[in-house]
Amino acid sequence: MATASSDLNAEGSCPPTRRLLLLGFKGSGKTSTLRTILSQERNPSDHSLTEQQHWIDILNWRLLVVDTLGCQLETEDIDEKDSENQPSVIDQCCPENQQSIIDQCSPGPHAVLIVVPISAPFTELHWQGLWPRVTALGAGIWRHTMVLFTCADQIPKDKGVEEFIVDAGAALQRLVERCGCRYHAVDNNLSDKSAQVAELLQKVEEMVQENQGWFFEMERPSILFEDEEMQREREEDRGTGMERTLAMFRSPPRELRVLLVGWRGAGKSSVGNVLLGCHVFESGQPTAVSVRRQAFVAGRRLTIVDTPGWDWFSVQRTPSNIRKEIKLGAGLLHPGPHALLLVIPVVSTLTLKKRQAIKSHLEMFGEEACLHTLVLFSCGDWLYDTSIEDHIQRNGGELLKLMKHCWNCYHVLDCTKASKDKAQVTELLQKIEEMVAENAQEPFLPVKLNQELDEEENSGKCILH
């Protein structure tokens, strides 16, 4: 049995050490991904131990990234029942290859990144070839794995990674499930790779923390007999595993992308800080540019973009640069936000002009924006003992009309209880996920990349309504 162990040098003044192991088939983009990670080193220099081993300093981590030889996939069809007896499967986990991986990543990886290209189908043959190579590293290895998609630019602009996984079929869904629904997508052709590498390393760190900071101590190669845990995993995969996978991908995504919108002084930045559980947005002063922050909240990766506030009474009175910045903020959540959180202070009175201004500003994101909008009442402490439902009724027609326009999706947040009442944030995320599930055919609001918006502006086309 393989074991999980903790680094002795993980604590102290030195940056934490993290060892990443790249696995995948030939042509999957492992080496390109390695170059993408290496490009973000703080002080570029040659720290390569071999062609496969690289020590680098990135952000707050000291990384050892190990590339491995790509699996060779046989092209002939394999019957699923007999696939485990095929040489094309067993050859991938021969003792020599396994020993080489152990030596290069000693004493063991914190994360195994299984590299899968979006540009090519992931078939049952790929799964049957990959499964023995991963499990040969030791029982329990799947708790330390993550699917790393390459060629992210190949995803259609109106789809996200979640939709790609659903459309890709049972084999890829099974792989993602085995990896605990942990995945990340990179475009190795981007000129600026910093954001996607930083997000990848953050996801790796979250997985390490889920494993109590332990790395995975791999098994020494031996005769290829499956132990009881491996046998159980394979039986689960053949039986009810597929049913669990299909159910999982009918459920909301583990990643949620949220855009904060509203008029000036509504409290958007404070709301963002409460949702992420830390002070990452500057509150108490006007937001000039859209800011993107993320954190792991209640079992989900939550990405939030705070945007500048619009005018209270008219979209025409909102400066063009502010309108553009709001749209650019949505582009930071490409392929699109799962939810627009319309922040309204509970102490504000909604007039006809204010409601019309809200409707006009939301239409900047298209006619379907209302399907993805949740009204978030800030300053919930001002309600005292009044329920939010009673407050909506007392405010009368305009607020009721706004509720109808947003399909009665709303929540109230008391920022004064942020540290004591975590349930209000969890409940909000659950409401967002319910909205995502109801929008099953279009679970997020498609937006254009900032580069596309710039091209439209330069060509003289209208960007905003």
Q: Residue 138 has what pLDDT?
A: 83
Q: Residue 85 has what pLDDT?
A: 41
Residue 259 pLDDT grade (very low, low, confident, very high; cuts 50, 70, 90): very high
Burial of 257-292, coded b for 16+ CB within 10 Å and e otherwise, reads: bbbbbbbeebbbbbbbbbbbbeebbeeeeebeebbb
Residue range 161-188, pLDDT digits in tens: 888 888 888 999 889 988 988 899 999 9
Closest by alpha carbon to 7, among 209, 220, 219, 213?
213
> Cα–Cα distance between 176 and 166 in angstroms, integer?
10
Residue 105 pLDDT grade (very low, low, confident, very high; cuts 50, 70, 90): confident
Residue 4 has pLDDT above 60, yes or no: no
Strands (E), 262-386: 291-297, 300-306, 339-345, 373-378
Q: What's the rounded mean pLDDT across residues 278-287? A: 89
* Residue written as token pair 């909000």: 428
Residue 59 has pLDDT above 50, yes or no: yes
The answer to which of 18-22, 86-90, 288-292, 335-339 has the lowest mean pLDDT is: 86-90
Q: Which tokens belong to 124?
A: 């049952």
CATH of domain 255-458: 3.40.50.300
Q: Which fold has domain 3-250?
A: Rossmann fold (3.40.50)
Residues carrying CATH 3.40.50.300, the chain? 3-250, 255-458
pTM: 0.65
Which runs of consecutive H residues, i.e. helices, occur in 286-416?
320-331, 352-362, 388-395, 397-405
* Amino acid identity for residue 24 in this structure: G
Q: Residue 5 has what pLDDT?
A: 53
Contact by Cβ (8 Å): 117, 149:
yes
